[in-house]
A and B are shown apart, each in its own frame.
Chain A
Amino acid sequence: MRPKALVLFLVLAVLPLVISKVAVGFPETVRVFSYQTFKPVFQASDFFSDQCTGLFAQTKSFLFTYRQNKELQARLNELEIEVARLKEENKKIQRLGKFLPYLEQKSRSSLYAQIIFRSISFWEQTAVIDKGARHGVGKGMPVITPEGLVGKVGSAGNSSANVIFLTDASSRTSVLVQESRDIGLLCGEGKKLLRMSYIDLSATLKIGDTIVTSGMGGVYPKGIPVGKVEMVGKDPDGLHLYAQVKPFVAFSKLEEVLCWVKKPEGR
């Protein structure tokens, strides 16, 4: 750059500074005039900039919301699983609460067991529990629920046992009618209802009477509720009456049971 040009440029660069010092109002006049001239363009640019900034902010907000939504969805799934688990726990606690009176009995000790397998055979009404000989479970032990009698232990392995339900065709139980004290033999038929046979012809049982264990036979203690009389009739041989009994226990919904072990004398 030639010195003359440099001096000229320098003068031009300093000139506005001098003007603003000497003529104080002049720069403002120039600025006001410029702003007035370009006012529509400034307004349009402000609008455009606001739109751009707004769009950016909205996009940012949308991305944040999207990310937050995903996180909350994942958290919701976790909580739904947790709620289902807690509901299950709650139901379990409610069910187990009914077992407490039996567990606190002094004459017998009760062993809590869960049903881990149910026979899929049409002919058998049995189930496998998660307690066996190792836990003190033995053949012939009564198996009950708070609702009533379930059946007895058919066989016991080391850590599991097979329970024969009252409804099984091989099940035989000595029972009596709680109200009239009539005795009979309760047999499973592989159906929902049980058949009480060998009832004396003079028996006064009626529909709705409660059937409990009689304590005879040495397997079941006396007085365990079994079911209610649904129907009374005469046997085909004409020598006895029979009754259809609906068990108190809903065998299809069984989840937990108690194995009732008699405590040794003196303990």
Chain B
Amino acid sequence: MLGQKARRAVILSLVLIFFELFFGRVLELGMIRPDLFLIYIVFWSFVIDRRSAPLVALLLGFVRDVFSSGFFGAETFSYFAAACLISMLSLKVERTNILIQGATSFIFALFQFWIYALIVLLCSPSPEFPRNFFWLSFLHSLYTAFLAVWMIGALERCIYFRSSRAHLLA
């Protein structure tokens, strides 16, 4: 049997996947769209369980691969690689500080974006990138980080039903 916390985490993951896949367009600003999966992985790594974050990233990456038209497998691998980085980072930083959460989300998003591009470049027979790729990746990461600052706290309340972060310090 799953514990109450794990059950909530699973439900939250399903809701997030559903929202990201089907209603993600609502959050679009021009061509820029935040990556809710990335935010969720940072949240998972910082708040729930650092060690299982790569597994969550693997699953979410696979879901994204299935529902996208890019090079199959690139999302899975890039999420996984970035999650490994986050998992290591979360040991060394102050996880309760929202600025650090935002900065980590920014680095995570940028890293995942570039790894994805690198994989596509190496594996795809005809890789195509937008002309302003670096600028777009920067804006995408920035938007994701801004949203993460607000979202991680909200997700935490959903899991623990309280605003206190005492559990992290315990």
A1-43 at interface with B (beta carbon < 8 Å): 1, 6, 9-10, 12-21, 27, 30-31, 34-35, 38, 41-42
Q: Which residue of B has the minimal Cβ distance to A9?
A: B54
- In the bound complex, what is the Cα–Cα distance between A188 and B119 (angstroms)? 109
| B82 smallest CB distance to A (angstroms) | 11
| B54 smallest CB distance to A (angstroms) | 5
- In the bound complex, what is the Cα–Cα distance between A12 and B54 (angstroms)? 11
Q: Which residues of B contact A12 (CB under 8 A)?
A: 58, 76, 80
A142-201 at interface with B (beta carbon < 8 Å): none
| A17 touching B87, Cβ below 8 Å | no
Q: What are 24 of the A-B contact pairs (CB < 8 Å)?
A: A1-B51, A6-B54, A10-B80, A12-B58, A13-B76, A15-B73, A16-B76, A17-B72, A17-B73, A17-B74, A17-B119, A19-B72, A20-B123, A27-B65, A27-B72, A27-B73, A44-B22, A45-B22, A45-B25, A48-B26, A49-B25, A49-B26, A53-B25, A53-B26
| B54 touching A30, Cβ below 8 Å | no
List the interface of chain A (C-beta within 8 A of B): 1, 6, 9-10, 12-21, 27, 30-31, 34-35, 38, 41-42, 44-45, 48-49, 52-53
Q: Which residues of A contact B58 (CB under 8 A)?
A: 9, 12-13
- In the bound complex, what is the Cα–Cα distance between A82 and B131 (angstroms)? 53
- In the bound complex, what is the Cα–Cα distance between A17 and B87 (angstroms)? 23
Q: Any chain A CB within 8 A of the CB of B163?
A: no
| B22 touching A41, Cβ below 8 Å | yes
- In the bound complex, what is the Cα–Cα distance between A45 and B22 (angstroms)? 5
Shortest 3 CB-CB contacts between residues of A and residues of B? A16-B73, A27-B72, A45-B22
- In the bound complex, what is the Cα–Cα distance between A31 and B123 (angstroms)? 19
- In the bound complex, what is the Cα–Cα distance between A21 and B76 (angstroms)? 15
- In the bound complex, what is the Cα–Cα distance between A12 and B87 (angstroms)? 17
| B61 smallest CB distance to A (angstroms) | 8
Q: Which residues of A contact B161 (CB under 8 A)?
A: none
In the complex, besides A9-B55, A49-B23, 4 extra interface pairs with C-beta distance below 8 angstroms are: A13-B58, A13-B61, A16-B76, A19-B72
| B81 touching A13, Cβ below 8 Å | yes
- In the bound complex, what is the Cα–Cα distance between A84 and B144 (angstroms)? 57
Q: Which residues of A contact B25 (CB under 8 A)?
A: 45, 49, 52-53
Q: Which residues of A contact B67 (CB under 8 A)?
A: 31, 34-35, 38
- In the bound complex, what is the Cα–Cα distance between A206 and B67 (angstroms)? 108
Q: Any chain A CB within 8 A of the CB of B66?
A: yes
Assuming the A-B contacts A9-B80, A13-B58, are A30 and B66 also in contact, with contact meaning beta carbons closer than 8 angstroms in the complex? yes
Q: Mark B102-131, 1 if CB is under 8 A from A, else 0.
A: 000000000000000001000100000000
Q: Which residues of A contact B51 (CB under 8 A)?
A: 1
| B81 touching A1, Cβ below 8 Å | no
| B23 touching A20, Cβ below 8 Å | no
| B122 smallest CB distance to A (angstroms) | 10
Among A6, A9, A16, chain B packs the most CB atoms within 10 A around the CB of A16
Q: Which residue of B has the minimal Cβ distance to A14?
A: B77
Q: Which residues of B contact A10 (CB under 8 A)?
A: 80
- In the bound complex, what is the Cα–Cα distance between A18 and B119 (angstroms)? 12
Q: Which residues of B contact A35 (CB under 8 A)?
A: 67
| A48 touching B77, Cβ below 8 Å | no
Q: Any chain A CB within 8 A of the CB of B132?
A: no
Q: Which residue of A has the minimal Cβ distance to B23?
A: A45
Among B25, B72, B123, chain A packs the most CB atoms within 10 A around the CB of B72
